Amino acid sequence: MTAPLHLAVALDGTGWHPAAWRDAEARPDAIFGLPYWTGLVRRAEEAGIDLVTFEDAVGLQTGGYGPVENRTDEVRGRLDALLLASAVAPRTSRIGLVPTVTTTHTEPFHVSTGLATLDHASRGRAGWRVQVSGRAHEAAHFGRRTIPALDPLAAATGDPAHRALLEQLFGEARDSVEVVRRLWDSWQDDAVIRDTRTGRFIDRDRLHHIDFEGESFSVKGPSITPRPPQGQPPVYVLAHQEVPYRLAATSADIVGITPHDDEQLASVIAEVRAAEAQEGREANPEFAGPLRIWAELVILIEHSEPAARDALEHLDELHGSPYASDALVVAGTAAAIVERLERWQALGIEGVRLRPARLPRDLDAIADEVVPLLGRAGLLERPADATTLRARLGLPEARNRYERRGGAASAETDAVSDDATAETDTDLETAGSIRA
C-alpha cells in the first residue's frame, strides 16, 4: 500500500495573494461573516481534505517585520481564528479545524482552555498551529514589554542580538506549549463521574496540579476545562531555520517547511532530523515517533501553464509588484502540482499545507482537480474508523501523563491528594496564576 499523503488547506481572507480580493470570483464583502468561512470549510470537507488552518496574528496584516504598512489596497482585519474555528465546528462533521494561536503576549492557560473547548465542540477534530510574534507594533498592543523590529539582514548575518531575540521568543513558545499540554492532561479522562447518588460530580483525585515554573510565567493548574476528546490535539509548527526547528522537535506533532526546490527539500529534512536528535525527541515519552514533516506551497491553478502565469501576472500588476512568500509560489495546472507533491513525498514529506492564492477559486480547483488526482494515485487512503483528527493523521492515542498506573500516581507530579479535597473552588479559579 502506498503511504498516505496528508492534505491541509490554509485559509486566509480572500486568498494568500494580496490582490486576491480583486479577483472576479472573490467575495471581499463576506469575509467578516460566518457563512463565508463555513462555506469554505464545508467545501474542503466534502472534498476529503484532512484539515483546514485559519490564519491569525495579534496585529493587522503587514509584510515583513518592519512598521505597520499603511496600504489601503490590501485586505486588513480578520476574525479571531480560535473563535472562528469554534463557530464552524458544529457546522461540520469530519474535517480537522486548526486555528493559529500566538504564544507571545497570550497566556497559555487561556490558550489551553480555548483549544480544549474547540476539541469538545468539534468532537475531537481540533488542532493548534503555534505562532510567535516578533513584530514591535504587535507588542505595543499589550504594553507589557517592547520587542525590537526583526531585521532580515541581521538574521542573514547571524547577528547575536537577533539570535537572542529568536531564542527568547521561541523559548517562551516552548514553555507555552508545555503548559498547554500539561493542562490538557490535568483532568484524567474519567475525572467527571456525575454520581447523583453520592452527589459527586467530579473525582478530585483525578485532577492534577501541573506546577509549571518557567522564565516568563508560572502556572499551577489544574485546567478549568475537562481533558479534550483527543487527549492531545495535534500541534503544528511552521519553521524556517534552526531555532524553530528545535521548537518543533520538542513540542510539535507536525512541522511545516517551505522548500523552494528538491535540493532544498532534502537539506531542510536533514536539518529537522538533526534538531530532533539534538533535542532528544526519541527519548521523550510524550511522542511516539519522529516529527511528521509537511511541505507548504502557495498555489494558483488554471487549465494550462500559460493561463496560470497570466493569472499570477495580472494579480501582481494589480498589487504593483510581484508577490513574494516564504513558501514556493506555484502557478500551474493541477496535474503539475500533483506531480510535484508525489516527487516530494518520495523525498520524505508526509503531508502538505496548500495555501490558495485566490479564494474560493483555488480551493475549488484543489477540491475538483487536485484531490481526485491524488486519489487515483492511491495517496488519500485513511483509516475507515477515524473519527478524530489524531486518528485521521495516523497519530497514536495520547496517554495522560498524570494517569495512575498500578495504583501509583505519575512521578511527574503529585496528584491532587485527599488533603486537597478540602480546597475551595477558589483554587480552580486561580489555577492559571501568572508570575510577573
pLDDT of residue 415: 41
In DSSP notation, 333-350 reads -HHHHHHHHHHHHHHT--
User: 3-class DSSP state for residue 352?
Assistant: strand
Closest CA to 296 of 337, 339, 347, 351: 351
Return the exposure string of 215-242: e unless at least 16 CB atoms fall within 10 Å of the residue's CB, then b.
ebbebbbbbbbbbbbbbbbbbbbbbeeb
Q: Which stretch of 103-112, 133-142, 152-161 has the lowest confidence by average pLDDT? A: 152-161
Closest CA to 291 of 279, 271, 276, 270: 276
pLDDT of residue 152: 62
CB atoms closer than 10 angstroms to residue 1: 5
Mean pLDDT across the chain, nearest whole number?
91
- Decide if pLDDT at 425 tops 50: no
CB atoms closer than 10 angstroms to residue 145: 10
Q: Which stretch of 77-81, 210-214, 431-435 has the lowest confidence by average pLDDT? A: 431-435
pLDDT of residue 431: 41
pLDDT of residue 286: 87
- Decide if pLDDT at 311 tops 70: yes
Residue 44 CA to residue 366 CA, distance in Å, equals 9
100 is in an annotated binding site: yes
pLDDT of residue 305: 98
For the chain, what percentages of helix, strand and coil (3-state, to nearest 5) are there? Answer: 40, 15, 45
Residue 402 CA to residue 343 CA, distance in Å, equals 42
Bridge partners, 257 (sequence order): 295
- For range 337-358, the mean pLDDT: 98
- The residue type at 220: K
209 is in an annotated binding site: no
- Decide if pLDDT at 29 tops 80: yes
Domain architecture of the chain: domains with CATH: 6-190+225-315+324-395 (3.20.20.30)
Quick one: residue 181, left, alpha or beta (phi over 0 = left, psi -120 to 50 = alpha)?
alpha
pLDDT of residue 409: 45
* Confidence band for 2, pLDDT divided at 50, 70 and 90: confident
What is the percent of the chain with per-residue pLDDT over 70, rounded to a whole number?
A: 89
pLDDT of residue 65: 66
In DSSP notation, 217-282 reads -EE----SSPPPTTSS--EEEE--SHHHHHHHHHH-SEEEE--SSHHHHHHHHHHHHHHHHHHTGG
pLDDT tens, 380-414?
Answer: 999 989 999 999 999 999 999 998 654 344 444 44
Output 35-41 pairs: Cβ under 8 A, ≥24 positions apart.
37/11, 37/79, 37/84, 37/87, 37/88, 38/87, 38/88, 38/91, 38/92, 39/360, 40/11, 40/359, 40/360, 40/363, 41/11, 41/88, 41/91, 41/92, 41/95, 41/97
pLDDT of residue 202: 95
* Confidence band for 324, pLDDT divided at 50, 70 and 90: very high
- Decide if pLDDT at 154 tops 70: no
Contact 104, 169 (CB under 8 A): yes
User: 3-class DSSP state for residue 121?
Assistant: helix
Output the CA–CA distances (angstroms, integers) from residue 239 to 55, 173, 186, 346, in the order listed. Answer: 15, 13, 29, 21
107: which 3 cell numbers? 497566556
Helix (H) or strand (E) holding 14: none
pLDDT of residue 150: 67
* Confidence band for 344, pLDDT divided at 50, 70 and 90: very high
Q: Which residue has the higher pLDDT, 139 or 306?
A: 306
Residue 386 CA to residue 343 CA, distance in Å, equals 27
Residue 327 CA to residue 353 CA, distance in Å, equals 10
pLDDT tens, 52-67?
Answer: 999 999 999 987 666 7
pLDDT of residue 85: 98
314: which 3 cell numbers? 495580472
pLDDT tens, 126-152?
Answer: 999 999 998 888 888 898 888 887 666
Check residue 153 and report its DSSP letter. H
162 is in an annotated binding site: yes
- For range 7-12, the mean pLDDT: 98
- Decide if pLDDT at 257 tops 60: yes
Residue 300 CA to residue 309 CA, distance in Å, equals 9
- Decide if pLDDT at 416 tops 80: no
pLDDT of residue 413: 41
